[in-house]
Copies of this chain bind each other. A is one copy, B any other.
Amino acid sequence: MYRTHSCGELRASHINTEVTLAGWVQKSRDKGFMIWVDLRDRYGITQLIFDEERTAADLMEKAKGLGREFVIQVKGTVIERQSKNPNIPTGDVEVLVSELTVLNEAKLPPFTIEDETDGGEDLRMKYRYLDIRRNPVKESLLFRHKVGMEVRKYLSDEGFAEVETPYLIKSTPEGARDFVVPSRMNEGQFYALPQSPQTFKQLLMVGGMDKYFQIVKCFRDEDLRADRQPEFTQIDCEMTFVEQEDILNTFEGLTRHLLKEIKGVEVDKFPRMQYDDAMRLYGNDKPDIRFGMEFGELNEVAQHKDFKVFNSAELVVGIAVPGAASYTRKEIDKLIDWVKRPQVGALGMVYVKCNEDGSFKSSVDKFYDQEDLAKWAEVTGAKAGDLICVLSGPTDKTRAQMSALRMEMAERLGLRKPDEFAPLWVVDFPLLEWDEETERYHAMHHPFTSPKPEQISLLETEPGKVKANAYDLVLNGNEIGGGSIRIHDKQIQAMMFDYLGFTPEEAKAQFGFLMDAFEYGAPPHGGIAFGFDRLVAILGGQETIRDFIAFPKNNSGRDVMIDAPAPVDNEQLKELSIKLDITE
């Protein structure tokens, strides 16, 4: 047995106990006559002490040789510390060492193993096993485990069964790009890795499993935007004999359970917002509602004067930034530069300062009088001291720009508090979205999503207006889950495939098994999937997922630690009946 206690366990009550500890040397302080060593393991840090008076000379000598990150085992007696450290749970005691074994030496790590490290992102990724020793990463991984356990416990208690679906499935051209896997036993054929277990969970519902979930890896061969991973984890769920309301209630329950158990936060019933309202009020289908600054549409009160920029715009929209009337001219100019950055893309910004005396000062005083501006303040809900920021242009673009500005101002004002949680259901998503490039409609959620039954007839005339039984769960401005009621009727599914541009042959080749399944008694069903990586990160009060993933890949999809992907030898390719086709 290597240890009697962990390094996080000893307290004053252990004083005079003989203990054996094992762990890593966090650091040592050598005063010559006295040496202190901080011994670290997953559970904490315990101070070891060697001193001339009580420690044998050869042991003193050995202790002097200990370097950072050496792995050691010590035996000794728990004693009271002279100067206690109230910052760590073991701070009342130290261990007077009588025996020291070096289990493994360590080279000097390429970066410091401290909460705040001097290691850059690349170095930390290459030596991820050292990065994991650091508290912030270690705690994130343990936090992830805790969230996963709570998810499973809650869903299992609610009657959901975790069913494993296959990883070696079939490639479909719809959706994102698949990773494929050549099959050796089936020459010239390929498996695909699942982008989600969507069709399998629907088949489980056809199979009568009633309530299914799975915490499962999914794969998408996409060019990686920041903070995306080619492999990611979903909490995938599906239920039978349910309407949208049942699903919202069930997963509101799950989310509330997590907030309570993990964060100790009690949240009331989650508000619900229609997709159209979210776009109108926040310019965004995943609004952060921890703070206000709702959009005020100003067309009516701003398009009656000679200001051509507004008059020619499809949308004129403003937000009232609290307390920002005090911005200097220079600060406002910088803000205007900010909205003109290519990442935001506005052509300019009109502003109105709402002075404390009730008067207004705007960048368009030439065109608008105090009465006009008072109306703008009314529409945007601006109070004395606020700054009204106004953008204009085509509706969709302008909303997106204003949404970016709103988030930026909230960030600057410290309104995005990581410890505050504001969940929100966004409902009534459009069924289809028009794709300019391919000049056809695509499924906004996926091709199995059910249109609102009462709107099916609209598909013929105004397909873009048809709403779906689709919903997203939004937390603090992040989409953490999304789902829909599925189509369970073969005819409607065939019609949807038709609208999405599949020929009947293509639909049959790719989803024939699902269409077949629908002939043998498919029940009404629906579900949801949560992005587990992001959910964990947000619950952990962070916006980036990377530290919540043990071994993440970089933006080129590489694991720089193991150096993958890598070439494989020709023999292996030959067995798989493929060869390289590299353009020089």
Residue A43 interfacial (CB < 8 Å): yes
Nearest residue (CB) in B for A549 is: B164
Asked if B187 and A69 sit within 8 Å, CB to CB, the answer is: no
Complex alpha-carbon distance, A184 and B74, angstroms: 51
Asked if B559 and A168 sit within 8 Å, CB to CB, the answer is: yes
Residue A273 interfacial (CB < 8 Å): no
Nearest residue (CB) in B for A524 is: B103
Complex alpha-carbon distance, A294 and B246, angstroms: 60
Residue A332 interfacial (CB < 8 Å): no
Residue A327 interfacial (CB < 8 Å): no
Complex alpha-carbon distance, A211 and B242, angstroms: 40
Residue A75 interfacial (CB < 8 Å): no
Complex alpha-carbon distance, A192 and B572, angstroms: 12
Residue A32 interfacial (CB < 8 Å): no
Say which residue of B170, B180, B206 sits within 8 Å of A182 (CB atoms).
B180
Nearest residue (CB) in B for A43 is: B210
What's the minimum C-beta distance from A314 to chain B, rounded to whole angstroms? 38
* Residue numbers in B under 8 Å from A559 (CB-CB): 166, 168-170
Residue A287 interfacial (CB < 8 Å): no
Say which residue of B71, B131, B549 sits within 8 Å of A523 (CB atoms).
B71
What's the minimum C-beta distance from A358 to chain B, rounded to whole angstroms? 54
Nearest residue (CB) in B for A161 is: B145
What's the minimum C-beta distance from A180 to chain B, rounded to whole angstroms? 6
Nearest residue (CB) in B for A581 is: B579
User: Which residues of chain A (200-222) have a CB below 8 Å from chain B?
Assistant: 200, 203-204, 206-211, 217, 219, 221
Nearest residue (CB) in B for A490 is: B104
Please judge, given known A-B contacts A204-B132, A566-B190, whether A521 and B106 are in contact too, CB under 8 Å. Answer: yes
Asked if A523 and B22 sit within 8 Å, CB to CB, the answer is: yes
* Residue numbers in B under 8 Å from A230 (CB-CB): 168
Asked if B233 and A550 sit within 8 Å, CB to CB, the answer is: no
Asked if A181 and B184 sit within 8 Å, CB to CB, the answer is: no
Please judge, given known A-B contacts A169-B562, A565-B170, whether A128 and B207 are in contact too, CB under 8 Å. Answer: yes
Complex alpha-carbon distance, A574 and B127, angstroms: 34
Residue A577 interfacial (CB < 8 Å): yes
Residue A416 interfacial (CB < 8 Å): no
Nearest residue (CB) in B for A521 is: B106
Asked if A208 and B168 sit within 8 Å, CB to CB, the answer is: no
Interface residue count on the A side (C-beta < 8 Å): 129
Which of the listed residues A208, A567, A582 has the most CB atoms from chain B within 10 Å of its own CB?
A: A208
Say which residue of B156, B193, B240 sits within 8 Å of A149 (CB atoms).
B156
* Residue numbers in B under 8 Å from A3 (CB-CB): 241
Which of the listed residues A169, A563, A565 has the most CB atoms from chain B within 10 Å of its own CB?
A: A565
Complex alpha-carbon distance, A203 and B566, angstroms: 20
Asked if B231 and A551 sit within 8 Å, CB to CB, the answer is: no
User: Which residues of chain A (236-254) have a CB below 8 Å from chain B?
Assistant: 240-243, 245-246
Say which residue of B148, B170, B187 sits within 8 Å of A582 (CB atoms).
B187
Complex alpha-carbon distance, A187 and B566, angstroms: 9
Nearest residue (CB) in B for A199 is: B562
Asked if B168 and A565 sit within 8 Å, CB to CB, the answer is: yes
User: Which residues of chain A (548-573) have a CB below 8 Å from chain B?
Assistant: 549-551, 553, 556-559, 561-569, 572-573
Q: Which of A405-413, A437-445, A512-520 contacts B (4 or more CB under 8 A)?
A: A512-520
User: Which residues of chain A (99-137) have a CB below 8 Å from chain B?
Assistant: 103-107, 109, 127-133
Asked if B523 and A104 sit within 8 Å, CB to CB, the answer is: yes
Asked if A129 and B207 sit within 8 Å, CB to CB, the answer is: yes
Asked if A170 and B207 sit within 8 Å, CB to CB, the answer is: no
Complex alpha-carbon distance, A180 and B181, angstroms: 6
Nearest residue (CB) in B for A73 is: B241
Say which residue of B107, B489, B550, B565 sits within 8 Å of A204 (CB atoms).
B550
Asked if A2 and B209 sit within 8 Å, CB to CB, the answer is: no
Please judge, given known A-B contacts A167-B231, A521-B104, whether A185 and B556 are in contact too, CB under 8 Å. Answer: yes
User: Which residues of chain A (51-104) have a CB below 8 Å from chain B?
Assistant: 69-71, 73, 103-104
Residue A138 interfacial (CB < 8 Å): yes
Residue A259 interfacial (CB < 8 Å): no
Asked if A170 and B223 sit within 8 Å, CB to CB, the answer is: no
* Residue numbers in B under 8 Å from A520 (CB-CB): 69, 106-107, 109, 127, 129-130
Residue A488 interfacial (CB < 8 Å): yes
Residue A499 interfacial (CB < 8 Å): no
Residue A576 interfacial (CB < 8 Å): yes
Query: What are 25 inter-chain pairs, A to B, with CB distance below 8 A?
Result: A2-B241, A2-B242, A22-B241, A41-B241, A70-B521, A71-B521, A71-B522, A104-B523, A109-B520, A127-B516, A129-B517, A130-B207, A131-B207, A138-B207, A164-B233, A164-B550, A169-B562, A169-B564, A173-B572, A177-B184, A177-B572, A179-B181, A513-B562, A573-B581, A577-B580
Closest 10 CB pairs of A and B: A132-B207, A106-B521, A170-B564, A2-B241, A189-B565, A42-B210, A183-B565, A69-B521, A145-B161, A579-B581
Given A1-B246, A69-B521, output 5 extra A-B contacts at Cβ < 8 Å. Answer: A2-B243, A42-B210, A166-B553, A186-B556, A512-B563
